[in-house]
Amino acid sequence: GMKNLKYFSYLFCMLIVSISCKKDDPEIHGQREFENNYFSLPNSIYVAEEFPVPSYVDGTVSITNISGNESVLPGGSIPVTITFTSDQVYYLLVGLRNVYGYMKMSLNADNINSLSITVFLIMGQDFNLENSTLLFAVIDKSGYVSSVYTLDIHLVEAGTGLLQVSCAWDQLNDVDLHLIEPTGEEIYYDHRISLTGGNLDIDSNAGCTTDGINNENITYDESSSLPVGTYTVRVDLWSACLITAITNFTATVWLNGVLITPSTGTNPFYGQFEPYEEDFGEAGDGITVMTFDVTPSMMEQAGVKIKKVCYIKYPNNENKVLSPSKVLN
């Protein structure tokens, strides 16, 4: 069944008050604050300034089109494809309306393909703007700033918790997120809640009944136990839903408020599906995008008490220690 989504509600005037109060506070406008409260853009730098106004003189390049998800999750991501009039583009700027600071990415022939680029904004786990507008502009090699292109986004409530695994994609089709726990138990659309309390709380476009959220999310909240050991993240194109375009997707894993360093793969992971790769997959299907380890020392650093230690017999006859843990209040 479809999840019953709720939207955060914050008074606009309170937002204005908080912005005006914090305007001169450098602590609020550091890179870490910006990335926690708003978003980060891999391979870019944070600029602690107001988003620039367009140049009076027309430059050699401007943005012709932007397509990206309008639904965002705290701790999730947004794939955005930007098309330019010319390859004489030097920088891409991404900001938020009424928010101080922005991200600046260098562009060149290596990351621009046929006058377009797909970038992935990683939303901060503390992102809580109910409705907001992303701002995009480019700077050409002469330093001229283009007109500003916008993308309106709205917040979908999703769990962050001690461990959060998310996947976002850019087509109206059915992509599935799978997480295999150290015990071998697999969380996915047909087994949403694990014995340790991992929960697939958002399953988007299920069975091609499109909701346009284009995100899936697995979270472990305060009542769950987090097993120690190796986790595997898999992403599957269940159905292209008659969409003929390539699907760009990203997967992210947060542990205790930071993007965890995986054992294999990358975090965030960026990938693509061709329509013919649909497989109507079940447990064990999809491609492995990363594996990561949760260790007792990591749990200790996160302020988590070990509840008990379980010994599990594995097929290779090794006794591995599994330590489900309880999040402290």
DSSP string, 170-219: SSSSEEEEEEE-TTS-EEBTTB-B-TT--EEEEETTGGG---S--EEEEE
Q: State the Cα–Cα distance between residues 15 and 12, nearest whole angstrom.
A: 5
What is the chain's pLDDT, residue by residue, as a tens digit (329 residues)?
Answer: 433 333 333 323 333 333 333 344 444 568 899 999 999 999 999 999 999 999 988 788 899 999 999 999 999 999 999 999 988 899 999 999 999 999 999 998 677 777 899 999 999 999 999 999 999 999 998 899 999 999 999 999 999 988 999 999 999 999 999 999 999 999 999 999 999 999 999 999 999 998 999 999 999 987 777 889 999 999 999 999 999 999 999 999 999 889 999 999 999 999 999 999 999 999 999 999 999 999 888 777 766 655 443 433 334 333 333 333 323 22
Q: State the Cα–Cα distance between residues 113 and 116, nearest whole angstrom.
A: 5
Residue 105: C-alpha distances to residues 44, 89, 130, 138 (Å):
4, 11, 26, 9
**34 by DSSP, 3-state: which?**
helix
The pLDDT of residue 29 is 64
The pLDDT of residue 305 is 55
Residue 56: C-alpha distances to residues 52, 59, 62 (Å):
12, 9, 13
For tokens 């380890």, the residue is 293
Question: Residues near 114 by Cβ (< 8 Å), separated by ≥ 6?
Answer: none
pTM of the model: 0.81
CB 149 within 8 A of CB 172: no
* Bridge partners (DSSP) listed for residue 84: 63
The pLDDT of residue 303 is 67
Give residue 64's identity as a one-letter amino acid code.
T
The pLDDT of residue 88 is 86
The pLDDT of residue 325 is 34
CB 291 within 8 A of CB 231: yes
CB 136 within 8 A of CB 93: yes
Residue 192 buriedness (CB in 10 A; 0-12 / 13-18 / 19+): middle
**108 by DSSP, 3-state: which?**
coil
| Phi, psi of 35, deg, nearest 5 | -70, -35
